[in-house]
Structure 1
């Protein structure tokens, strides 16, 4: 007796699946790498570290990302480059926290190196992204504002669909923690720094997560141009605000700001020193443009 041939339509679907070539998964558009000369340095791997109390750093060697455990959920500050988002969440897990417990993500500025990962982080955690009014405009478009000193750079990044806007001095309260929004414009007109108190028993410290305050631009931009008077005035306001902040521990958005080798600074007067550095750099830039 000879075996009858099997009709093609009777072949088990799982046999067809085994024979079919694997189809690669589509790349995640929200974590597609932004290529820059500094990416490897900015995203150099670092283990998560406790700063003080229930405040941690979950970012990288060159870009800081902070995490606050409020007892009723987590607050994340900044999101680094898009391709860094998975590593940030991995560091959150290493600390024993669940990414879905992140309730708020606070943004310092709408630039790709700090806001690039926000869209992916918001999607993967369900958290609400919070920024200044001008910062929110940039996050929603993923583009630089027309008055941004860095407008000459091509700095597109994944847009954040929903952003909650906060005012200067407004408190974001979750659990036992209130984080205060502090407008520190200049680097961008919507730059926002954040400060809060962290405690270990009866000992408490004021922590500041500072937005960038350096006058960065392409070579053809002129801070001294009459059209940019408002930007220079904004730097003065941002520097004054930074000097006035209660500041026992300073975390800068760029971990290597001003040649720092630590991921955070505990030196007395760190915020005043940071403001003075910004003032000095802007004065040097203005002087160079007038030569």
Structure 2
């Protein structure tokens, strides 16, 4: 009998050695077959944007689920969720993990709003749209670029931009049009300049009786490549579009500003303060959109002066 008990004990020990304890970390699944929609774009260069950071609650229905150098917005409504931007293909697994960590099933995402059709903000859209079943919403000009996965010659950076996975499920939306999901209405705000099809997005966020106007803004960086000049008469439409965009931001209802690249509006500093001390909320700043416009109009005028030799 003693021999039997000893054998049973040895068998139990062997089985225990084959099964990790529940307190141990879950083993990662075996790598899936190569996914063309997740193929990294400019991985070495893009690393500067993709520093890991935890999801952040900004105010009311408004969250961030992106990275240190790239914002990805999340609006939670009573009947689903809205994402803003998709970062790069290689960033999609982290975005989806952030959603799951917040208890947001991928199937809850109904719309993905696009600020601009460049690979750093739109490279992940195709994969996110596939995984969630959501519709990607963009300006008419940007929708054309997203559908083919590359910018045209009217983009100031077209000569240096990487291609990205084309988006199939698209809904163009014009300046001033609205999109409703549950109890949230999002308004499209055409803000051309950085790209011809840049679009910013505005909505209301409430915490009890404290309601705020939120702006998720496209980039206003007046960068160009390949000899493109905003001062060239052939590019007059985008030159004038930039000036209208600066004016629009100054007039826009704006209590909370979130920008596609957080560093362009001090969002990285605000987020660090929010994590350290949530109240008073450092993102609440009614002057933020005016400051954003003033800062980038000065950069635009500096660029024009350099182009024209003034």
Structure 1 residue aligned with 2:294: 276
TM-score of the aligned structures, taking structure 1 as reference length: 0.89
CA–CA distance in 1 between the matches of 2:270 and 2:155? 27
Q: How far apart, in 2, do the equivalents of 1:262 and 1:245 lie?
A: 23
- Which residue in the other structure is 1:6 paired with? none
Match of 1:66 in 2: 73
> Residues 259 and 265 of structure 2 are in contact (CA less than 8 Å); yes or no, is this contact kept in structure 1?
no
CA distance, structure 1, for counterparts of residue 235 and residue 229 of structure 2: 8
Q: CA RMSD in A?
A: 1.6
The count of aligned residue pairs is 269
- Unpaired segments of 5 or more residues in structure 2? 1-29, 272-282
Aligned to 1:184: 191
**1:39-50 matched pairs, under 5 angstroms:** 39-50=46-57
Aligned counterpart for 1:78 among listed residues 76, 82, 85: 85
* Pairing of 1:187-206 with structure 2 (within 5 A): 187-206=194-213
1:209-288 to 2 correspondences below 5 Å: 209-218=216-225, 220-257=227-264, 260-262=267-269, 265-288=283-306
Please, what TM-score do these two structures have when normalized by structure 2?
0.83
Between the aligned partners of 1:260 and 1:162, the Cα distance in structure 2 is 31
Which of 89, 94, 98 is matched with 2:105 structurally?
98
Mapped to 2, the partners of 1:258 and 1:281 lie a distance apart of: 14
1:128 to 106, 118, 135: 135
Kept in 2, the 8 Å contact 1:181–1:193? The answer is yes
More helix by share: 2
Question: What are structure 1's unaligned runs of at least 5 residues?
Answer: 1-22
Partner of 1:51: 58
| In structure 2, C-alpha distance between the alignment counterparts of 1:27 and 1:35, rounded to whole Å | 17
Name 2:115's counterpart in structure 1.
Answer: 108
Residue 262 (structure 1) shift:
2.9
* Structure 1 segments (4+ residues) deviating >6 Å: none
Mapped pair 1:163 → 2:181: no
